[in-house]
Amino acid sequence: MNHISPVLWQYLVKWLTNFAVIPPEASTIAPQVDALLIFMTLVSLVGLTLVALIITTFCIMYRREKSPVATQIEGSTLLEATWTIIPLGLFLIMFVWGSVLYFRIYTPPTNAMNIYIVGKQWMWKAEHPGGQHEINSLHVPIGKPVQLTLISQDVFHSFSIPAFRVKREAIPGRYTTVWFEATKTGTYHLFCTQYCGTAHSAMIGDIVVQTPEEYKLWLSSSTSGVSLAQNGERLFASLSCGACHNGQPDARGPNLGHVFGSKLTLTTGQNVLVDEAYLRQAILNPSAHITQGFAPIMPTYQGQISEEGLISLVEYIKALNLNERIQQTTNTTELLPEVPEGPKAKSAATAAQGVAKP
Amino acid sequence: MSTIVSLPDQATARVPKRNYITEENGLLSWLLTGDHKRIAMLYMGSITFFFFIGGAMAGLIRLELLTPMSDLMASDTYNKVFTMHGIVMIFLFLVPSVPATLGNFLIPIMIGARDLAFPKINLLSWYLYLAGGALALYAMITGGVDTGWTFTTPLSTHYVNTNVVTTGLAIFVAGFSSIFTGLNFIVTIHRMRAPGMTWFKLPLFCWANYAAAILMVLGTPVVAIAFVLVLLERTIGIGVFDPQKGGDPLLFQHLFWFYSHPAVYIMILPGMGVISEVISTFARKRVFGYTAVAFSSVAIAVFGFFVWAHHMFIMGISNYAMLVFSLLTMLVAVPSAIKIFNWSFTLYKGSITFETPMLYAFGFMGLFTIGGLTGVFLGTSGTDIHLTETYFIVAHFHFVMVGGMLMAFLSGIHFWWPKMTGRMYPEKISQLAAVVTFIGFNFTFFPQFLLGMLGMPRRYAAYPPEFQVLNVFSSAGASILGVGYLLPMLYLVWSLKYGEVAGNNPWQATGLEWQTQSPPLTENFKEIPIVTQDVYDYEWLERQKEHEVTQVG
């Protein structure tokens, strides 16, 4: 008891002095979610009070001592219709309101900066485009939409930031996204909320929200020196992807320049939009994603590239949109193992670093 | 206070010599019985056993969560404990609770039949339940399982080293027990009603169990298939749920929740049936809007099948799928609201007394209302994102399952105890138990709503220290709740020998089960009754009584 009580007392006092029923509101979406939560709580309280009042009143008025004989009543269509339609109406309001919020939370704005999150038993790894790697923490700037692209290396995890009111499952083999815009600096909880095995409750971390200046400082002091796209370029070379994807008219693989965001027609006749998820799948399971006009000769890379490696490759292919450099890439293959440096990779890195508005 | 109970004169009263308990003696006469009432009693004994195992697990969980660090148990042990708590409570207690005990005992008598349609299958279902329970216990003793009761893939197929296969088999086997019970109920209610017992003269308890039976028969095979796939994936790696082999890990959750959401209604619908009977009896009134209540059970059963993906709003299902499932979830909330209001208005112009079953029923109505309303918070997609996978959801389903179903179960046990045993339970102490349970329950689970709002994730052995105060409240409440559950255990056993003799109809209720002796004969009725009266026909009951008096006079 001795070692519990002082701690407990301390928290009891703390809890009583600043009693909180909701976590801090630290993102743009948080007040909107809270408004709906407050609305629903009010409706629930009114409903509950109503039921309690009806029951209590009837129990007092019609208890055996006062009402020795019951009057049989069949029912009342009017009353029953009332308590069918009113709750239905209220529930439908909540449905529409909630759906609007849901679409908002899961539809990132186009100008959002993207950070990759890889979940594994039992840690969160954050991969910033500029080559900053973090474990069990995530630094984000205030006032800038941040999109998280999540994937899990093993089992289901769930990336939850209560202070932002956002949460998204990290699924093995599939990218999921969520976004937020932080509004208050500080350090907030990051939880894994999907049960993921032994150390599930240790899979927690900190979300550090900084001012743009602090964030800039953090970016420059934490970078590994190699941006994701640069790292991808190296992987691209070491896996000899350029042997086929060399951008030449007679190449055996499709040209990857400007492929990101474009629409491809596959040999199956299917039209697909090339996004991160498609690129990832096309690398891991190429035979199911053959672009029309090409032979199914690409080997699978399942199990050969880590999730971080895949992210780097995807970022590299995305970066190819910035300027056509596929030709040069094939050349850098010969330059290995030297670190290839190009204006493209740099620009990607600076793009990531320069997002913080002053 | 209790003016309904007009017990026979205690000096002369005795339990009828010939009844289903005294009909045959010896252990084998129980183990090989085809009598639905004896099978119900066998079920009652076995589910009580598993309830106390699950309850002990709950106690361990609350003890661990008393402090922020994981200091009572290692986190692996904690994971096993909450997994077994969930599996035991859901598959071995809640699913069979009301249907297999009260339903088994009462449905044939309520509809004026001599037994269920398939007595041997009924016995087989109990043995399957026992086999499932034994396998689960075996898995627990030989190392346990730590997947959570949801068996999420690929955690359950590739990443844990515990008894997933044994536990999966246990649930598979127990599932068939529930399929057989459901099948029996459906056939019995369709084919074996007494002359004059039309569908709209069926007690609402039968309607509710009928709806639950449909869910059992249609839903359980799906979860059985899901478990078979998990076992195959784990043993020979067929890859249905493995993204590396082109499988989809999310598919398992679709299959699992396709059963496990309707399973929630399998658990709650029979409880709602109990509440309808109890409220009508102690208000001495026909249930307000009988047809609406009957059809709301069926509506819950039908809509209940099409809401499963609301467990997966944050898992990357398409936004448009979310719209459909969220909308359907709102629709399934409406029949529950109808029921609550209809029960409340049943009290209107009634003649109400407050015996123990009624107190539990009031407890049910309050707690189920909270449980239902907080369900809307989770069915609303925008707020679900914040609240799902936190203690909010834990509190929500405990309000529905424990606050709702367990209250209804206890209400039903007290209500029909005189019918099942021929003896009354002690009134005062059981009223106390009902109040203690209600207080303990709120103390335990209300703080969990606040914890969930603050974002505390579920299934955490250790948690940030700022959540400790609310967790201490919750654990303190759990100890009160524990007392509330132990009390009935003690006095009900006591009453088997020392309780007052109940007589045929201590509550002056209208159901056919009350028009026969307590405990009933093995064949239920001397002759099959011909039903001329309406359901909940208290005026008919009065006339019957007058008739008897004039005859005796």
Q: Are B452 and A23 in contact (CB under 8 A)?
A: no
Strand partners, A167: A160
Is the CB of residue B508 less than 8 Å away from at least one CB of chain A?
Answer: no
Rounded Cα distance between B367 and B398, Å, is 9
- What ipTM score was computed for the predicted complex, to two decimals? 0.92
Longest dimension (CA), chain B: 84
User: Are B373 and A103 an interchain contact pair (Cβ–Cβ within 8 Å)?
Assistant: no
Contacts of B351 in chain A (CB under 8 A): 62-64, 67-70
User: Are B459 and A59 an interchain contact pair (Cβ–Cβ within 8 Å)?
Assistant: no
Chain B: give the shortest CA distance to residue A118, in Å. 15
Which of A197, A222, A247 terminates a domain? The answer is A222
User: Are B349 and A21 an interchain contact pair (Cβ–Cβ within 8 Å)?
Assistant: no
State the Cα angle at B467 between B462 and B470, rounded to 5°. Answer: 115
Q: What pLDDT is recorded for position B428?
A: 94
Q: What pLDDT is recorded for position B5?
A: 60
| Structural domain count of chain A | 3
Contacts of B472 in chain A (CB under 8 A): 8
- Claim to verify: residue A279 and residue A316 sit in the same structural domain: yes
Is the CB of residue B142 less than 8 Å away from at least one CB of chain A?
Answer: no
Closest to B150 measured CA to CA, from B211, B221, B91? B91
Fill in the DSSP letter of residue B94: I
Helix (H, G, I), strand (E, B) or coil at A5: helix
Phi, psi of B195 (to 5 degrees): -55, 135
Contacts of A64 in chain B (CB under 8 A): 3-4, 351-353
**Chain B, nearest residue to A68 by Cα:** B351
Q: What pLDDT is recorded for position A323?
A: 58
| Cα–Cα distance list, B176 to A34, B148, B180, B216 (Å) | 44, 21, 6, 9
Contacts of A87 in chain B (CB under 8 A): 333-334, 337
Q: What pLDDT is recorded for position B2?
A: 43
A247-298 pLDDT, tens per residue? 888 888 888 888 888 888 888 888 899 988 899 989 988 888 888 888 888 8
Confidence of residue B552 (pLDDT cuts 50, 70, 90): low
Which of A177, A194, A222 terminates a domain? The answer is A222
User: Are A162 and B455 an interchain contact pair (Cβ–Cβ within 8 Å)?
Assistant: yes
B99-130 pLDDT, tens per residue? 999 999 999 999 999 999 999 999 999 999 99
Rounded Cα distance between B180 and B116, Å, is 11
- Claim to verify: residue A240 and residue A324 sit in the same structural domain: yes
User: Are A87 and B337 an interchain contact pair (Cβ–Cβ within 8 Å)?
Assistant: yes
B347: how many CB neighbours lie within 10 A of its CB? 25
Give me the numbers of helices (H) and strands (E) for chain B, helices first please: 17, 0
- Claim to verify: residue A281 and residue A218 sit in the same structural domain: no
Q: Spell out the alpha helix ranges (H) of B284-318.
A: 290-303
User: Are A84 and B353 an interchain contact pair (Cβ–Cβ within 8 Å)?
Assistant: no
Position A211 in a domain: yes
Contacts of A164 in chain B (CB under 8 A): none
Contacts of B539 in chain A (CB under 8 A): 72
Position A160 in a domain: yes
Q: Are B139 and B170 in contact (CB under 8 A)?
A: yes
Q: What pLDDT is recorded for position B11?
A: 67
- Claim to verify: residue A173 and residue A250 sit in the same structural domain: no
Round to the nearest angstrom and report the end-to-end CA distance of chain A. Answer: 52
Rounded Cα distance between A301 and A289, Å, is 13
Please say if the pLDDT value at position B235 is more than 70. yes
Q: What pLDDT is recorded for position A347?
A: 43
pTM strictly above 0.95:
no
Contacts of A27 in chain B (CB under 8 A): none
Fill in the DSSP letter of residue A188: E
Rounded Cα distance between A222 and A215, Å, is 10
B411's tokens: 């209400």
User: Which of the listed CATH numbers 3.40.640.10, 3.40.50.300, 3.40.1670.10, 1.20.210.10 matches domain B27-552?
Assistant: 1.20.210.10
Longest dimension (CA), chain A: 100
User: Are A20 and B246 an interchain contact pair (Cβ–Cβ within 8 Å)?
Assistant: no
Phi, psi of B474 (to 5 degrees): -60, -45
B350-392 pLDDT, tens per residue? 999 999 999 999 999 999 999 999 999 999 999 999 999 999 9
- Claim to verify: residue A47 and residue A148 sit in the same structural domain: no
In chain B, where are the structural domains located? 27-552
Q: Domain range holding A269? A: 228-353
| A66 CB burial (10 A radius; 0-12, 13-18, 19+) | exposed
Q: What CATH number should be reported for the domain holding residue A157?
A: 2.60.40.420
- Claim to verify: residue A140 and residue A100 sit in the same structural domain: no
Q: What pLDDT is recorded for position A326?
A: 41
Under 8 Å CB-to-CB from B467, ≥6 apart: which residues? B68, B451, B454, B456
Q: What pLDDT is recorded for position B6?
A: 64
When comparing pLDDT for B425 and B246, which is higher?
Answer: B425
Chain A: give the shortest CA distance to residue B44, in Å. 31
Q: Put residue B289 in one of left, alpha, beta given phi > 0 → left and psi -120 to 50 → alpha.
A: left
Average pLDDT of the residues in B131-149: 94
User: Are A87 and B383 an interchain contact pair (Cβ–Cβ within 8 Å)?
Assistant: no
Q: Spell out the alpha helix ranges (H) of B88-118.
A: 104-110
Is the CB of residue B463 less than 8 Å away from at least one CB of chain A?
Answer: yes
State the Cα angle at B245 between B242 and B248, rounded to 5°. Answer: 40
Position A248 in a domain: yes
Which of A175, A205, A222 terminates a domain? The answer is A222
Q: What pLDDT is recorded for position A342?
A: 42
Rounded Cα distance between A123 and A112, Å, is 25
Rounded Cα distance between A218 and A180, Å, is 20
pLDDT in tens, chain A (358 residues): 455 667 667 767 777 777 778 899 999 999 999 999 999 999 999 999 999 999 999 999 999 999 898 888 888 899 999 999 999 999 999 999 999 999 999 999 988 999 999 999 999 999 998 889 999 999 999 999 999 999 999 999 999 999 999 999 999 988 999 999 999 999 999 999 999 999 999 999 999 999 999 999 999 888 888 888 888 989 998 998 888 888 888 888 888 888 888 888 888 888 899 988 899 989 988 888 888 888 888 888 888 899 999 999 999 998 887 754 444 343 333 333 333 344 444 444 444 443 333 3
- Claim to verify: residue A95 and residue A142 sit in the same structural domain: no
Confidence of residue B334 (pLDDT cuts 50, 70, 90): very high
- Claim to verify: residue A91 and residue A118 sit in the same structural domain: no
With residue A94 as reference, give the H or E element that holds it. Answer: helix A77-106
Position A91 in a domain: yes
Strand partners, A118: A125, A151
Average pLDDT of the residues in B334-345: 94
Chain A: give the shortest CA distance to residue B471, in Å. 11
Rounded Cα distance between A278 and B62, Å, is 46
Position A13 in a domain: no
Is the CB of residue B69 less than 8 Å away from at least one CB of chain A?
Answer: no
User: Are B75 and A200 an interchain contact pair (Cβ–Cβ within 8 Å)?
Assistant: yes
Q: Put residue B156 in one of left, alpha, beta given phi > 0 → left and psi -120 to 50 → alpha.
A: alpha
Contacts of A192 in chain B (CB under 8 A): 457
A32-77 pLDDT, tens per residue? 999 999 999 999 999 999 999 999 999 999 999 998 988 888 888 9
Fill in the DSSP letter of residue B9: P
Average pLDDT of the residues in B44-70: 94
